[in-house]
Amino acid sequence: WFDPRLPPGCMPNILGQDTNPVELILVKEQNGVQFTSTTLVTPTPTQTNPSGEEERETWGKKIDFLLSVIGFAVDLANVWRFPYLCYKNGGGAFLVPYLFFMVIAGMPLFYMELALGQYNREGAAGVWKICPIFKGVGFTVILISLYVGFYYNVIISWAMFYLFSSFTGELPWVHCNNTWNSPNCSDWADNGSVSDIYKATPAQEYFERAVLHIQDSNGIDNLGRPRWQLTSCLAVVIVLLYFSLWKGVKTSGKVVWITATMPYVVLTVLLLRGVTLPGAIDGIKAYLSVDFLRLCDAKVWIEAATQICFSLGVGFGVLIAFSSYNKFSNNCYRDAIITSSINSLTSFFSGFVVFSFLGYMSQKHNVALDKVARDGAGLVFVIYPEAIATLPGSSVWAVIFFIMLLTLGIDSAMGGMESVITGLIDEFKFLHKHRELFTLFIVVSTFLISLFCVTNGGMYVFTLLDHFAAGTSILFGVLIEAIGIAWFYGVDRFSDDIEEMIGHRPGRYWRLCWKFVSPCFLLRLAYAITPETEHHLVDNGEVRQFTVRVNSIILYGNLYGSTVL
């Protein structure tokens, strides 16, 4: 018997969706005497979503999810890519196309992936139960994330190597009298003169010859054995990743409290130091100088579109995996606006840090700013270490800087691996009970393949992976994903799903972007992956990158301003 006097909150819920205590009153009559016993029972908590499916584990706190998304999206490219793009494409004027594409494509795609994962409660492959013919897209993005991990972890190991090397009285990339230096080493090479074309700075030779050992390999057919120093650093990175991921979001959600916040602390400290250096203001002025005439160049708009697409991290399955651990009623719309905005603001803020030091280097060596302004690995592993080496207490500043690079890389790598792990264990349910072992299998496999990138000729393998891992494939994957949601599953149905979660439908603007604007945006990016001399082929629908060539592979990389062939 259930006592009808109990308040509604204490009544038993036969659907299993309420975990309030239930008071059971048992009335038993024996020989005309009634015996009453009262028992307080707490039902087993079994949360279900509106479709009746049992829910998975969720983030310990909402901030764990936000920091995880921010930590994944804010990576090394925010420091070494965006500031340089801004500088060479009109300074402050570059923000016009950047913000334009962020509003019409970046945020809508970001919002779409968060909502897709949160509603369906599965990884990148499992979410396509809404339209099974597109499940291949889910496996594609999982494979891309795994593929990127093969070389992205190597970048983190470089930062680890530099970090260990910084614990010394004098930084090893200051002079040319080391065993790894060549006769071409010079304290500073002014590339403006013919005689200095083949000169290299100590910092450049340290990266090339002491870290990478490029001089010991003459091509991809002569890799050599893995170098024990980089292999050890890579092993440390893999161990950190494993113990951050092995228990799922319960552990990774705590790790990001450090890895996602540390870069902001270090960037602020570096900015405060940078603006006090001579020439720093000139560098910042160059970074912010506005040249609206550059907006007439289509290349500026293409680079802004490309930067938005890759910097937000859509298409890797990470946003889907992270949001699948949210509570069903979580406001994913607000999360999308907050996290994508923080990502872009971080890129802009890091530009002040980078160009304060570049301005200092320009004045110190009495050369034009464009002689020292670079992007990519050359900025963070050559130019910045060289600038830090000239400061008082250089070892301390180097340790701080490379800790920042390490934390920037770790949480992005965590996101990529979580995409793979979540995507596969959700698709193959028996793996749920063996997450720790499966996570170990994934990280060890990644480590073994990454060993090719820490050999003497590892830079050739690294460049090959970097150029073909997440370029065209990501754009194609996101395009098919957007088409699958907007045109096959249906924007109206997808909007109903969002209303079921957050209580209101997306506005007309978002629905138009999902159905028309974002897919068109992704298709015009064919220009961004094609040399300018071949743009006429794109107009005719002939994109060389979509053609498979089996007769030869040409390896070409642009590493910190020099060419690797």
pLDDT at 256: 95
In a domain, 39, yes or no: no
Amino acid identity, residue 442? I
- CA-closest candidate to residue 229, choices 559, 463, 451, 462: 451
In a domain, 136, yes or no: yes
Say whether pLDDT at 6 is over 50: no
- CA-closest candidate to residue 277, choices 382, 351, 359: 359
- pLDDT classification of 397: cutoffs 50, 70, 90: very high
409 is in an annotated binding site: no
Q: Which residues pair with 54 in a beta bridge?
A: 48
Average pLDDT over residues 31-37: 55
What stretch of H or E contains 108? helix 107-120
- Kindly report, residue by residue over 217-269, the tens digit of the pLDDT: 888 888 989 999 999 999 999 999 999 999 999 899 999 999 999 999 999 99
190 is in an annotated binding site: no
Average pLDDT over residues 316-331: 95
Judged by average pLDDT, the poorest of 5-9, 98-102, 169-173, 417-421 is 5-9
359 is in an annotated binding site: no
Output phi, psi for 305, to 5 deg. Answer: -65, -40
411 is in an annotated binding site: yes
Two structure tokens written together for 117: 């994962």
CA 109 from chain centre, in angstroms, equals 15
pLDDT at 528: 58
**Pairing state between β 562-564 and 557-559:** antiparallel
Q: Which residue has the higher pLDDT, 95 or 529?
A: 95
Instruction: Give the whole-angstrom CA distance, residue 110 versus residue 95.
Output: 19
Judged by average pLDDT, the poorest of 42-46, 208-212, 433-437 is 42-46
- Kindly report, residue by residue over 69-81, the tens digit of the pLDDT: 999 999 888 888 8
In a domain, 191, yes or no: no
78 is in an annotated binding site: yes
- CA-closest candidate to residue 328, choices 58, 43, 16, 13: 58
In a domain, 309, yes or no: yes
Two structure tokens written together for 247: 């228990």
**At a CB cut-off of 8 Å and minimum separation 6, what does 334 contact?**
none
Instruction: Check: CB of residue 2 under 8 Å from CB of residue 12.
Output: yes
Average pLDDT over residues 59-78: 93
In a domain, 124, yes or no: yes
540 is in an annotated binding site: no
In a domain, 391, yes or no: yes
Instruction: Give the whole-angstrom CA distance, residue 135 versus residue 149.
Output: 22
Domain that holds residue 297: 64-183+201-540
Instruction: Output the average pLDDT for the chain.
Output: 84
For residue 470, what is the domain's CATH number?
Answer: 1.20.1740
Total domains, the chain: 1
Say whether pLDDT at 398 is over 80: yes
In a domain, 176, yes or no: yes
- pLDDT classification of 519: cutoffs 50, 70, 90: confident
408 is in an annotated binding site: yes
412 is in an annotated binding site: yes
In a domain, 396, yes or no: yes
The string over 418-453, giving b where at least 16 C-beta atoms fall within 10 Å of a residue's C-beta and e elsewhere, is: bbbbbbbbbbeeebeeebeebbeebbeebbebbbbb
The pTM assigned to this predicted structure is 0.83
